[in-house]
Amino acid sequence: MAESKSDQRVAAVRRFNRFYTRKIGLLHEGYLASAFSLTEGRVLYELAHQDNVTAGALGRELGLDPGYLSRIVRGFEKRGLLERTRSKADGRQSFLALTRRGHDAFAPLHTRSRDEIGAMLGALPAAEQDRLVEAMRVIEGLLGARPEPKAPYMLRPHQPGDMGWVIHRHGVLYAREYGFDERFEAMVAEIAARFRPALRSEARALLDGREGRRDRRLGLPRRPLEDRGPAPAPARRAGGARPRHRRAPRRRVRALRAPGGLPEDHALDQ
């Protein structure tokens, strides 16, 4: 009996699923040759990239059974990878966040995944890479992936906690991406101590208009960067070697221009 068109489509999708899961190594015993399962690796990823997330919100985002997610969270807590903070607004809820050990556990997974996908793409010419990425966007769109919200970034005066958040995120991200230790975070704190937004009416903070949260960038006044005095010596990495020096900033840092436009009299430190 000949297969119907519907049966052929189902078979084609299943064939692609088998191919792609093998291609990206999901059939291996541990996710990316680690001690984590695929689901545990995804939960780590979400926790590393979100602030103040609850277990309920995380479960809905990933489509996980609450009981299954609860067991993963408890396992992470026992291993010192995760900590809970009781919500001040609703005592029945707790926010989940990775500890330093949790970020250390996630860092090699992030690096390995990036390297493996980079190697897979690197085997193709640039034009074919673009075709592949565009095909993936088509699949996401057709299967109902939520599109990235398109809202402009906004500028507002600095508020209490902004500079502390900048210091915190620099410490977390540079430890995860480049292996910098706590001395780098201390260096950022020294720089932040010299930035006094309360005394400078022209200073602004950049907000992510999509969620009303702080962005990873900091709004700077127009005054040239070199007028602010010498910066502290860069912190050493955990192994003792100094990190690579970034290129010296020009008089105006390249601005991020979102839809609707940001004022041209603010440079943005990226």
Q: What is the pLDDT of residues 142-151, one digit of tens each?
A: 998 876 655 4
DSSP letter at 51?
Answer: S
Q: What is the pLDDT of residues 50-78, one digit of tens each?
A: 888 999 999 999 999 999 999 999 999 99
**Domain span including residue 36:** 11-105
Domain boundary among 105, 135, 165: 105
**Residue 75 falls inside a structural domain:** yes
> SS3 sequence, 146-160?
CCCCCCCCEEECCCC
Domain boundary among 46, 75, 105: 105
In single-letter form, the type of residue at position 268 comes to L
CA pair distance 37, 173, nearest whole angstrom: 23
**Residue 213 falls inside a structural domain:** yes
**Residue 39 falls inside a structural domain:** yes
The CATH number covering residue 54 comes to 1.10.10.10
**Residue 210 falls inside a structural domain:** yes
Range in 17-21, 41-45, 154-158, 258-262 with the lowest mean pLDDT: 258-262
**Residue 264 falls inside a structural domain:** no
Residues 6+ apart with CB under 8 A from 58: 43, 46, 47, 50, 64, 69, 96
Q: How many domains does the chain fold into? A: 2
**Residue 124 falls inside a structural domain:** no
Range in 76-85, 138-147, 248-257 with the lowest mean pLDDT: 248-257
- Let me know whether 170 and 99 are in one domain: no
- The pLDDT of residue 225: 42
Domain boundary among 105, 130, 145: 105
- Let me know whether 20 and 82 are in one domain: yes
**Residue 15 falls inside a structural domain:** yes
pTM for the predicted model, two decimal places: 0.56
- Let me know whether 167 and 225 are in one domain: yes
**Residue 192 falls inside a structural domain:** yes
